[in-house]
Amino acid sequence: MSKIKFPTKILQPLRKQLQSEELKLKKRQENLNTEDPFNDGDRLNDNAAVDADAAEEFGHDRVSALKLEVDKTLINIRKTLTKIKLGRFGLCDNCGRMIDTDRLAIDPTVSKCIRCAVEK
Ligand SMILES: [Zn+2]
C-alpha cells in the first residue's frame, strides 16, 4: 500500500476549508428543515384547499431533494476529514492507491481513484 503522505502545509488549509464547508452545510440543512412545508406545525390544523396541499407537496419534494444533496456532500466532507486525520487522504477507498492529484484538486472529497470510479 502506498505510503505517500501529503505535507501538513497542504492538509492544514484543506482541513480548515472542509471544516468551514461543513459548518456552512449544517446551516443550510437547518434552513432547509425550516423551509420544508411538512415541518410547519400549523399544517395539521389548517383546512387548506387542495391547491395549497399540492403546493406543499411540491415544496416538500424540492426541499427533500436539496436535503439529500446536502446530506451527501456533508458525508463526503466528513469522510475526507476522517481520512486526513488517519493520514489516508488522497488514497483510494477501494484499492488503496494514490488518487490522481488533478482529481483531488478539482474535488478533494473524491474517495476513489479514476480506475475504481470507472469500474464501480
Ligand atoms: Zn482505486
- Domain annotation covers residue 103: no
Ligand 1 ion local residues (Cβ < 5 A): 92, 94-95, 113, 116
- Domain annotation covers residue 114: no
Nearest CA among 110, 117, 118, 73 for reference residue 91: 110
- Domain annotation covers residue 78: yes
- Domain annotation covers residue 92: no
Note the pLDDT of residue 112.
94
- Domain annotation covers residue 59: yes
Note the pLDDT of residue 38.
80
- Domain annotation covers residue 41: yes
- Domain annotation covers residue 104: no
The grid coordinates listed for 112 are: 476513489
Note the pLDDT of residue 5.
74
Q: Is 89 helix (H, G, I), strand (E, B) or coil?
A: coil
pLDDT, one tens digit per residue, over 9-60 is: 999 999 999 999 999 999 999 999 998 888 766 555 555 566 778 888 888 9
Compute, in angstroms, the gap from residue 87 CA to the centroid of ligand 1: 17
Alpha helices for 1-111 (secondary structure H): 8-35, 50-85, 101-106
Domain count of the chain? 1
Note the pLDDT of residue 115.
93
Compute, in angstroms, the gap from residue 13 CA to the centroid of ligand 1: 25
Full domain range(s) for residue 80: 8-87
pLDDT, one tens digit per residue, over 58-111 is: 889 999 999 999 999 999 999 999 999 999 999 999 999 999 999 999 999 999
Compute, in angstroms, the gap from residue 84 CA to the centroid of ligand 1: 17
